[in-house]
Every structure is written in structure tokens, then in C-alpha cells.
Structure 1
Amino acid sequence: MLPVMTATERPLGRSTIARYAVGSIGTGGFGTLPGLVLVYYLTDTLGVTALLAGVIVTVAKIWDVIIDPVIGYRSDRALARTGSRRGPMLLGAIALPVCFLLTFAVPEGLAPGWAAAWVLVAFTLTATAFSLFQVPYIALPAEITTGYDARTRLLTWRVVVLSVAILLFGAGAPALRRAGPDEYTGYLVMALVAGLVIGAGLLIASFTAPKGAVPATDAAPATQRGSAWRGIREQYAAGVLVLRRSAPFRALLSTFVLQALATGLMLAAANYVAVWVLHSDDALTFLFLALIGPAILMAPAWGAVSRRVGKERAFLWASVLFAVATLGLTPLLFAPGAWVYLPVALAGAAYAGMQSLPMAMLPDVVSVDAATHGEGSAGSFGGVWTAGETAGMALGASALAVVLAVTGYAESVGSEVVAQSSAAVAGIAIAFSVVPAALALISLVTLGRYRLRRTDIDRAVQAQEETPR
């Protein structure tokens, strides 16, 4: 059994909050750019068909889903062995910029099939590097602080920085992409600048991982040392175990995955909406300004609301607002125009709560589980959570690729200009409005199954503090 490791003795200082939040510059950048430009890069620069572009993104993310529980388990073992999760975080922070640059370094003139293979390999390596950082990063709040409201404060500022990062990368990427003399060079410049900024954010946040005393327990059980395959089975079993034994975790994860699918679909569709529905390259920047500006302002507001009514109720309100806002985008089908920025702004206000509140609820779930089962499984929870989030975001891009393929979207190479059918344009509009709204409404059902309240968390924290170490 792994020792329960908490950080009740560590005050939640401003420097800790700041360093943890800086990590969202990296996570926001990586979460934004591939979802925003990768499918578009494949279809409109490399000449890859929409369906194959979706397959590439999906395969890379499926690999992510496979390895995340393993990384989570090993993160727990590293914590038990060394007292910190910092090692894999540093490795991911250093490797990601290199792999990210390679993803957008496809040589001009390469055949679409070979270009697709290049992107698949490079992006899979990039996603692996990101998981090495992200899985332990998600587990840290449960160890940095045990307070119900302190976690909300920690995650609120993370989402503020996340929103700023999404705005900067989402609005700045098109400008960087246009900085080159051609599309290939433009994407390369974008990847270089963005990769360095992402890596710097991840590197700084890696030092938020507490450096505790090394536990006296053995670094790994004999069964794990005796067989590599048995160890791998144990790693997946640990992820399955936390998923099976924690009903609040299943409810929270299901809700978050559905909403990640909705936001991932909108993110992937945004570039297409700007070009083919609103007929303006600049519209992409304005869409991000409309989405993220309110999110930056509303993240602290959702924290204040949660302190007054509880995280779960505030999360419900944010989810309902998002569903209403995305449903309000439906007129894009027949009357596109500048009015679109208003419902997008409402969706942005809701998005801030949909990010900060479930992330603040996750360490509460971990605390209750630890109080009940006496095991330090934050890494396993983080691995399964990251796998679910990754799957949701990936399926969003995959769903868009399917819509594009079904509606007859025409791919192009380099600066080649093509015309899109009315069916393809309608499919883009539906993917940006009706489908995300439906997913958000479905997520309300799973959120209704989340039963933990503040009193449950307080009892769990008290039980952990009274547990001998």
C-alpha cells in the first residue's frame, strides 16, 4: 500500500499559486494549437483528406489515452520512492518543444500520404511528452493543499492563466502563421515560437511539485519488480480500480469528457467557421477574443459563486449557460454575421466555470477516496482524468473530420484555392453550434450523479489529518 501523502503543513502561498498557474501557459497552448490548426494544416496545406486527418488526430490521442494511466501509476510510484512527481514533468517539458516543432516541419512537396505519416509520428511523440507533464500536474492540487476553498483558489488562478494562454495562442497563431513567405514556413515559425513558450511554462510549473521526504517504504513491490508485464497490468488495474470504486469520480469524469468533446469540436471548427462561414481570416482572432475575454473575467467570479453555493451547483450553472450559448449559435446556418460574437462571449463566460470548477472538484474526490481507502492514488486519478480529457478533445476533432468528410469538404495543397459546397459550409456551422449544445445538455445528466458536498470533503480532510504517518 502506498503511503498517504498530503501537504496540510504547506501554506498555500502566492508563489505556489503563481508557479502552478504558469503551467497553464503550456497546457493552454498545447490544448489550443493542435485542436485549432492541426486538422486545418493537414487538409488545407498538406492536401490530406478530411477523414484521414481525423484518423491521424484520433490515433495519436488514442495512444495518449493508453499511456496516461501508466504514467499516472508510475507517478504515484515515483512519489512513494522519491517524495516528488517532478522527474517526468521535467522530461515532458524539455521534450515537448522539439516534438511540436517537428509536427509542423513537413517538407514542402511531400506527397499527402507521406506528409500524413510524418505528422502522425511527430504528433504522437508530442502528445507523449505532454502526458509526462500533464498527468502529474493534474495530481498536484491534492498534495499542494487539502482545503476545500483553497483548492478552488488554486484552480481559479490556473484557469485565469489558461484563458489568457488560449487567447494569446488562439489569436496569435494566425498572425505567426502569416509571418512566413509561404504556408509551410509560416507554420514552422508558429511551431517554433509556440513550442518554446509552451516548454517554458511547463518547465516553471514542474518546480511546483513538492519535494517531500522519501518514505521509508520499499520503492516497488516485489511483484512489480519481478515481471514487466505484471507491472503493466498493475498500472492499468490501478486506473480501473479508482474508476470502479469512486462513483463521484465517474460522474465528474463523464461530465468533463462530454464537455471536452463539445469544446474540442468547437475549437477544431473555429478556423473553418472563420474562413468558410464568416468569410474572414481575421474572424478567427475575433472569435477567440469574444470567447476568452469573458473567460478571463469570469474565472474569479465562478470561484466566488462556488464559495457561496458550492462547487457542484456553480458547475451546473456554468454548464447550463454553455448549452444555452451554443444553441444560440444555430442561426449561423442561415444568417452568419457579427452577431455570432455575443453567444460566443456567453460560452466563454461559461467555459471559465466549466474548467475551474471540475478541476477544483477532482482533488476533493481524491481526498474522499484516500480517507476511505487509505491509499495515495492521486496519480492514478490524474492518469484516468487526463486520458478522459484527451479522449474528449480528440473525439471533438475527429467528429469534425467526419462531418467534413460526410458533407464533401474539399482539401487543398499549399496556397491552392478551392470552393466549398453549401452542404460542407452547413456542416461546419452545425459542428460549431447544435452538436456542442447537445453534448452540453447530455452532460447535465451525468453531473446530476455527483453527490459529494462540502461536508463530505471536510470530513475526509479531518480523517486524513488524524491518520498516523
Structure 2
Amino acid sequence: MPEPGSNHVGTGEKLGYGIGDLSAGLILNFFGFFLLFYFVDLGGLEPAAIGLMLLLTKLVDAFTDPMMGLVADRTRTRWGRYRPYLLFGPVPLGIALVLIFAAPDGLSDTWLLAWAYITYTLCMLAFTAVNVPYGGLLGVISPSSEVRASVTAYRMFFSALGGILVGALGTTLVRELGGGHDALGVLLTISCIAAVSVFCLLVTFATTKERIPFAETNGSLSGDVKVLLTTGPWIVVAIAAILGVTAIAARAGSALFFFKYVVGDDGSPVFLFFDRPALFLTALALGQITGVIVGNILQKSFEKSHLLITAGGLKVAMITLFYFLPLDAVWPQTIVQYLVGIGFGMLMVLSYSMFTDIAEFIDWKSGRQMTALVIAASVFAVKAGIAFGSAVPGFTLDLTDFVNGQEQTETALMGIQIAFAVVPAGVMIPAMIALMFYSLNRRVIAEVEHDLSTRRAAPA
């Protein structure tokens, strides 16, 4: 534990905070890759039914994510505002994760769909209860924007590592642990992920410290929400984050369908133990780590919004290029997907860093401490992006007459391509346009930090 009263954030604490996002990286990448496949290709449900479920559950998240932020901002314990949720929340989250993929054999389509609705909603509630405070903790771990950006880079490294592990080992673990029974393999794999996630979050609780003191009183709940919804920079970054994640989730959610039905891949390894879907996801995650490093370095010299627009342009260009490559061009596809990952990694590290800047800006402008509420947008953005992106192939497959386990028509194959390439590239365009209206440049943030530092030191 860091020494009481110290404002220094050492490497050990940065690692301790960052490893907490290995949990989210494992969970969300696994969902993005396997959730639709589990209920549609293995469970036999209609793709549109699961797509609708993913969208409707976001209506719950639209209420619970900001509410969790409001609650966490007002929590007062001997562990701080946000850290207690990392102590008591991980175990319920782990249990909820396993339940999603533990549907009893023999359920009718109606009951299986009900199981999906109930367990997925419960899991997202548990995820919110942990990850909104986890994000809020980033905002109070240091009063320095530069230090928070550095901590964010550690966080995004572990998030990307989660993607690498799911990409490299996910299909292999499902195949080997299931012994030919994919549904069992999925259940056992998510059980391993749940155990690792609980451990990582408890490590974060034990190794971190909240350094920005909380205000004795806070504004009203409705007042906080009103301030948030009228803060232009927050709206801009939330839109960009949601659409950026949607693009990646749509590709991930349709990847197994693309390789199985469009490419005709039989799941055989093409490099060491990597099959083509595993190589595809691993390339994305390795690119994401590279993007995190590049973004963290460049943000010291360039405006974050300009870098995000550049990252979005890179994603659009590479997704488009991938579409025109031959289906059997394994290594060119892998390289292009790696470059897509660089754009995604830059988007993630910069947007999370910008959310903490926005929280400080709101404190500076209004005197309201609402860090977790502001950063709840990042949690909702990721969850909404995963849901929207996974819903895209669900609805597209349904509209183009996809039939699981059968040889697909040309229309169905085109539907898979639309979900895999056209939509992911298309949604990045409005994200890049939105970022042109981001107003918190480096000069403004420096002024905010200086004034807040003076204000917080005054009582002492």
C-alpha cells in the first residue's frame, strides 16, 4: 500500500490498478466473441432475438450506470469512495458470469431466451457495481492529468492483455476443455475467467489509494445529472467511445460466422495452436497494446482529440482494406487486423484519459465532485458498444436469412460481410465528426489543474 499522505503513484500501484481491467478485458472480449455464438449457433436461438436482448438490456444500463456513479460519488467509508466496491463486488460478478453460460440442457427456445435475459442482466448489474467505481478510482488516484494518463496506459495494457488471452486461448480452451462439447467448453472457460477476474479486482483494492479528498457535501442528484448532460466535451467523448467500441464489437461478434461460413475455415490451426479466429483476435489485441503505448506517448505532445480522429481514420482505412483482401490471405489479413487494433488501442487509452480530464473540468467549473458519474459514461460506452456491435450481426443475419449449421445463401454471406466490415467502418465516421467539437485542449486542462490545486490546498 502507498504511504498515507503521499501523492506519488509508483509503478507497483499503477500495476495494481491496471490489473483490475484485465477482468473487464477478459469478460468483454469473451462476450463479444462467444455470446452470440453460444446462444445462436450452439443454442439454436434466432439471431435477432439475441440482438434484441442485447439492445433492451442497455435500457437497464442507461439507468443503472449513472445511478451507480451517483451512489459511488456519495459513498463515505474508511476505504474511500470507490475502493469498497472492489472488495465486495467481485465475487457476485464472478457468479453471475458463470450463470450466463450454465443454461440447463433441454430448455425450450422460450426458456433459453428467458435464461439469457435474466442472467445477462444480472451480470451487467454486477459489472456496473464494480466497474463504475473502478473507473471513478482512476479520477482520484492523482490530481495530475499526466499521471492519470500514465495510469490509464497501464489499465489499457491489461485490458488489451485480456483480449490477447481470449484471442489466443479462447477457442483452444473451449475445444480442449469441452472435449468436443462446445457448450461445456464455453462454460468451463468462463469459469476460469471468473476466477481470474475476482482475483484481479481484489488486487486492485489492496494496492491502490484515493488521493483527492472528497467534498463534505455534494450537490443534488438531479443537479449532477443536469450538469453532466449539458457538458459538451462529455457528450462528444461518450459518442466517440460508444461508436468506437461498436465497430470493434460488430467485427468480433461476426468473426466466428465470417470464418466459418464465408472463409470456410474448419478450425484447424494455421500457426502453432492458433486457428484463424484466434489469430484474428490476437492480432487485434496485440495492435491494441501497441496503440495504447503509441497513444500514451503522443498525447504528451499532441491534442488528444486530434489523435483520436487520426486513430478513427486508421480503423476505417484498415477495415476497408481487410474487406478487399483475398479470403485465403491469412498473413496480410493478420497484419491489417493488427493495424485496426492500433487504432482501437489509441481510442481506448485516450478516451478514458479524457473522461478523467472532463471530471476535473466539471469540478473546476461547477464545484461538483462527480468523478464516478462522469466516468460511468466510459463503462456504459463499452457495454453499449459491445451490445450494439453484437446486435448488428444478430439483426443482419436474421434479415439476410441466415440458418445456423447450414450452407448459406449469397444473401446470408453478404449479411455476414456487412456486419463484419461495412457497419464497423461506417460507424466510425460520425465518431470522428463528433470529436471535432471537443474543446478541452492542453491549455485549458493546465489551467484547470492549477486552479484546482490551489483550491484544494486552501483549507489546509
User: Is TM > 0.5 for Structure 1 vs Structure 2?
Assistant: yes
Mapped partners of 2:291, 2:374: distance in 1? 27
| Residue 285 (structure 1) shift | 0.5
1:194 maps to 2:193: yes
1:84–1:209 Cα contact (<8 Å) kept: no
The 1:286/1:272 distance shift into structure 2, 3 A limit, reads: same
1:94–1:199 Cα contact (<8 Å) kept: yes
Classify the secondary structure of the residue corresponding to 1:308: coil
2:13–2:208 Cα contact (<8 Å) kept: no
| Residue 96 (structure 1) shift | 1.1
Classify the secondary structure of the residue corresponding to 2:119: helix
Q: TM-score, normalised by structure 1?
A: 0.89
1:266 maps to 2:251: yes
Mapped partners of 1:236, 1:323: distance in 2? 38
Pairs within 5 Å for 1:38-117:
38-79=35-76, 83-117=80-114
The 1:450/1:8 distance shift into structure 2, 3 A limit, reads: farther
| Residue 209 (structure 1) shift | 5.2
1:358 maps to 2:351: yes
1:441 maps to 2:429: yes
Mapped partners of 1:87, 1:340: distance in 2? 44
Give the partner amino acid of 1:138.
G
| Residue 203 (structure 1) shift | 2.2
The CA RMSD over aligned residues, in Å, is 2.3
1:183 maps to 2:182: yes
Classify the secondary structure of the residue corresponding to 1:446: helix
1:409–1:424 Cα contact (<8 Å) kept: yes
| Counterpart in the other structure of 1:227 | none
1:83–1:214 Cα contact (<8 Å) kept: no
Mapped partners of 1:355, 1:119: distance in 2? 28
Pairs within 5 Å for 1:50-449:
50-79=47-76, 83-178=80-175, 179-181=177-179, 182-207=181-206, 210=209, 217=216, 235=221, 238-244=224-230, 246-280=231-265, 281=267, 282-331=275-324, 335=327, 337-338=329-330, 339-411=332-404, 417-449=405-437
Mapped partners of 2:441, 2:55: distance in 1? 36
1:461 to 442, 449, 452: 449
Mapped partners of 2:213, 2:250: distance in 1? 43
Give the partner amino acid of 2:191.
L
2:70–2:221 Cα contact (<8 Å) kept: yes
Classify the secondary structure of the residue corresponding to 1:303: helix
Mapped partners of 2:228, 2:319: distance in 1? 33
Give the partner amino acid of 1:185.
L
Classify the secondary structure of the residue corresponding to 1:433: helix
Give the partner amino acid of 1:201.
C
Runs of 4+ in 1 over 6 A off after TM superposition: 212-216
Q: Which runs of 5+ in 2 are unaligned?
A: 268-274
The 1:31/1:205 distance shift into structure 2, 3 A limit, reads: same
| Residue 12 (structure 1) shift | 1.7
Pairs within 5 Å for 1:15-34:
15-34=12-31
2:303–2:442 Cα contact (<8 Å) kept: yes
1:82–1:215 Cα contact (<8 Å) kept: no
Mapped partners of 2:436, 2:170: distance in 1? 38
Mapped partners of 1:72, 1:184: distance in 2? 35
Q: TM-score, normalised by structure 2?
A: 0.90
| Residue 462 (structure 1) shift | 1.0
More off after superposition, 285-294 vs 58-67: 58-67
Mapped partners of 2:423, 2:360: distance in 1? 35
| Residue 387 (structure 1) shift | 2.3
Mapped partners of 1:160, 1:100: distance in 2? 23
| Residue 235 (structure 1) shift | 4.2
| Residue 8 (structure 1) shift | 9.6
Q: Which runs of 5+ in 1 are unaligned?
A: 1-6, 222-233, 412-416
Mapped partners of 2:329, 2:212: distance in 1? 59
2:103–2:112 Cα contact (<8 Å) kept: yes
Identical pairs, percent:
22
| Residue 383 (structure 1) shift | 2.2
